[in-house]
C-alpha cells in the first residue's frame, strides 16, 4: 500500500478510535500536502508525503528546544508523541556507518578542496539520503569531514 493511502486509512482509524492526537497530527500532514499541491503544483504522492513529514518532524524538534527553554514538559511530551506518529511514514533511517559510507563515496566523486565545496557535496548527497536521515546531522558530518581535510 502506498503511503498516501495509508495516511488516509489511518486518519479514518484515528477518527473511529477517537485518538485526537493522532488524528490532529495526521490531518496536519494531509493539510500541508494539500498546501504544497495548491501553492507549488506538486503532485500528491509518496515523495511529497515524505518531504512534508520530514519538515514537520524538523519543526517539532525545533519546538521541543523552545519548550525546554520554557520548562514546558507537557508540551515536550505531546510533541515527542507527534514525532513518533510521523516517523512511521519515513523510510528506514540510515545508521551513522551507512551515512559515513555515502559521504565518503560523494567525497571521492567530488574531491572537495575546502568548505567552499559544501554546496556540491550537499547537492550530490541530498537525493541519496532524503527522508532517510536528518539533513542537519548529514550537514554536520560533512562539515567535520571537510575540516579534517
CA separation for the pair 11, 30 (Å, rounded): 9
**Grid coordinates of 50:** 515524505
Burial label for 114, CB within 10 Å (0-12, 13-18, 19+), is: exposed
Domains of the chain, earliest start first: 3-87 (1.10.1510.10), 96-148 (1.10.10.410)
Tens-level pLDDT at each residue, the chain (149 residues)? 599 999 999 999 999 999 999 999 999 999 999 999 999 999 999 999 999 999 999 999 999 999 999 999 999 999 999 999 999 999 999 999 999 999 999 999 999 988 999 999 999 999 999 889 989 899 999 999 998 86
Tell the residue number behind the cell numbers 532517510, with chain if given: 132
pLDDT at 127: 93
The dihedrals phi and psi of 91, each to the nearest 5 degrees, come to -65, 165
Give residue 43's pLDDT.
95
Cα distance between the two ends of the chain: 45
Distance CA 120, CA 111 (A): 10
Give the three cell numbers for residue 14: 484515528
Tell me what pLDDT residue 1 has: 59
Amino acid at each position: 500500500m502506498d503511503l498516501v493511502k495509508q495516511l488516509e486509512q489511518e486518519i479514518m482509524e484515528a477518527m473511529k478510535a477517537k485518538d485526537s492526537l493522532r488524528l490532529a497530527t495526521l490531518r496536519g500532514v494531509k493539510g500541508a500536502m494539500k498546501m504544497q499541491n495548491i501553492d507549488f503544483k506538486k503532485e500528491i504522492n509518496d515523495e511529497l508525503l515524505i518531504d512534508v513529514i520530514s519538515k514537520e518532524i524538523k519543526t517539532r524538534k525545533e519546538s521541543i528546544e523552545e519548550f525546554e527553554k520554557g520548562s514546558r514538559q507537557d508540551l515536550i511530551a505531546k510533541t515527542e508523541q507527534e514525532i513518533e506518529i510521523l516517523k512511521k511514514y519515513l523510510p528506514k533511517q540510515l545508521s551513522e556507518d551507512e551515512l559515513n559510507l555515502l559521504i565518503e563515496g560523494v567525497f571521492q566523486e567530488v574531491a572537495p578542496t575546502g568548505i567552499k565545496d559544501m554546496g556540491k557535496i550537499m547537492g550530490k548527497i541530498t537525493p541519496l539520503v532524503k527522508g532517510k536521515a536528518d539533513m542537519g546531522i548529514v550537514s554536520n558530518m560533512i562539515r567535520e569531514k571537510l575540516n579534517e581535510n
